Amino acid sequence: MVEEGLLKEKLGDSLEAKISEKQKAFSGLLTREGALKLIALDEGVAKRGQAKASEILPLAQALSQNDAFASVLVRVKQVYCAREFDKEGRKGKVCNVAVGDSSGEGKLVLWNSDVDFAERKLERNSCVKAEGLAVKNGELHSNLFSSLSLETAPFGLPDYGTATVKLSDVGEGRDFYARVSSKGVMREFERNGDKGNVLNLVVEDDSGQKTLVCWGRNAVIANFLKEGDVLKAEGIALKNGELHASWMTHLIAHAKKHNLKELEFKPFASLAANETAFVQATLEKLFEARVSRKCLSCGGVVDGEKEKCDCGGSVRETFFITTQAKDEAGRQMRMVFFEDQARELIGLKRTFVSPQTIFGLKREFLEGKTLKMKALAQQRNGGALELVVKQIRSHS
C-alpha cells in the first residue's frame, strides 16, 4: 500500500511500534489499516480531506502526475481476479482494473478493502468516480484516503459493453450468465510454494450445462453461492472443454440484469420419490429437535453417553429437526432438517447452549414462516413422501 511504503521510508523500524501504540490507544478496536491512516495524518504523509480535494482530470493527464494524487471519472473495461498475498506476515488483497475515458486507457490498482468494492459492485462497462488516487509508475493506486463510487449516465466515456452469450456458444474471453446447478467443495492446493483455492461448479442456462472451474479469489466468491443462484462470468477461459474462471476472469455472484428463466418451485403434488427439487412451503408445526446416535459399524442405535457401541464401533451423532409444512396449494408434507440445515433453521451458532434449548426458544417464532428450499423427496416406510431439506435459500 502506498502510505505504508512512504511511512516505512520516513519512520523505518519504528513504524511497527507506532502501529501498536495507536491500536493500544484505541483498546484494540483499531485495525492495522486504521492505525496506518492516523499515523499518515500525524506524519504529514497524507492530508485530511485529500480524497475530496482533487478536481476530476482526464485519465491521460492523471497518469502523468507521478508521485502525486489525482481523481478520475472512468469506464471499466475489465476487472481482473483479485489476488491475496502475505507480505512479511501481513495479509492483503489487490485487484487490477482496466479503465478508460475519452483521453485514453490505464490501470486502476485497488488494495485491501477497496478490493471488496471491485468484487461486489464493478462489472464490465461500470462507470467509476475515483478520488484521491496515488499515481505510481503510470498506474492509479487506491489508498487509505481514496473514495470510490459508481456513477450513472456519464457523458463522453467509451462504451466497453459486450453482449453475453449462451453456454453453448461460449468462447475464450466471452461473458455469460448462468445458474448454479451443483457446487463442489472448495479445496486448497499448493503450487510453486504458493497456496490457492479451487472449486468446481456445474452451471446451466436454457442451452445446456457446463463445468465451471473457479480458481483463487474466484473460488472464494463461488463458495458463497448456493445451488439455484445466478452468476455472471466476464472474460472466461477455456481448457479441455471446461470453463475456467482464471486470473483473467471476473466472477459476479448473485448477478442481476439477466434473462435466465426464473427458478421453478414445484408444488408438493408434482414431486416423485427420489426427486430433488426447489420448493416453497410454510412451516405449520415444528415437532422436535433430537440428536440421534448410531454405530458406524453395525448401524445400531447407541444409548446414553457411550463413546463406543457394544460392538466396538464408533458413534456418529446427527442433529435433526422434524416439521410439518404445507405448500401454496395447502398440501401438507413432513419435512426433516439434518445437521447444517437444522442449525441454519434455528440460527444455531457455536454456543454452550444445547440445540434442543435453542429449538424451544425459536419454535414459536418459526411456525408460520415461509421458506424457499431445495429438498429431496423420500418415501417413508408407510409409502408417504417426506422432504429432506438439502438447502435453505431464504425464509420470510
Give the percent of the chain with pLDDT over 90: 67
Give the DSSP letter string of 148-202.
EEEESS-SS----------GGG--TT--EEEEEEEE---EEEEETTEEEEEEEEE
**Quick one: pLDDT at residue 174?**
97
| pLDDT average, residue stretch 62-88 | 91
- 159: CB partners within 8 A, 6+ apart: 75, 125
User: CA-to-CA distance for 46 and 38, rounded, in angstroms?
Assistant: 9
User: CA-to-CA distance for 322 and 182, rounded, in angstroms?
Assistant: 26
The overall average pLDDT reported for the chain is 90
Q: With bands split at pLDDT 50, 70 and 90, how would you rate the model's confidence at 51? A: very low
CATH superfamily of 268-395: Nucleic acid-binding proteins (2.40.50.140)
Domain ranges of the chain: 47-151, 167-253, 268-395
Residue (of 395, 286, 279, 265) closest to 337 by Cα position:
286
**Would 167-253 and 268-395 be classified into the same CATH topology?**
yes
User: CA-to-CA distance for 13 and 293, rounded, in angstroms?
Assistant: 57
Least confident of 84-88, 328-332, 382-386: 84-88
Q: Quick one: cell of 111? A: 488494495
Q: With bands split at pLDDT 50, 70 and 90, how would you rate the model's confidence at 53? A: very low
* Tens-place pLDDT, residues 118-153: 999 999 999 999 998 989 899 999 987 789 999 987
**Quick one: pLDDT at residue 52?**
47
Please determine, for residue 154, whether its predicted confidence score (pLDDT) is greater than 90: no
To which residue does cell 488494495 refer? 111
Least confident of 16-30, 81-95, 367-381: 16-30
To which residue does cell 453395525 refer? 298
Which CATH fold topology does 167-253 show? OB fold (Dihydrolipoamide Acetyltransferase, E2P) (2.40.50)
Helix (H) or strand (E) holding 129: strand 127-136
Beta bridge partner(s), residue 86 = 91
Least confident of 31-40, 158-167, 206-215, 340-349: 31-40
Which CATH fold topology does 47-151 show? OB fold (Dihydrolipoamide Acetyltransferase, E2P) (2.40.50)
Please determine, for residue 176, whether its predicted confidence score (pLDDT) is greater than 90: yes
User: CA-to-CA distance for 385 and 334, rounded, in angstroms?
Assistant: 8
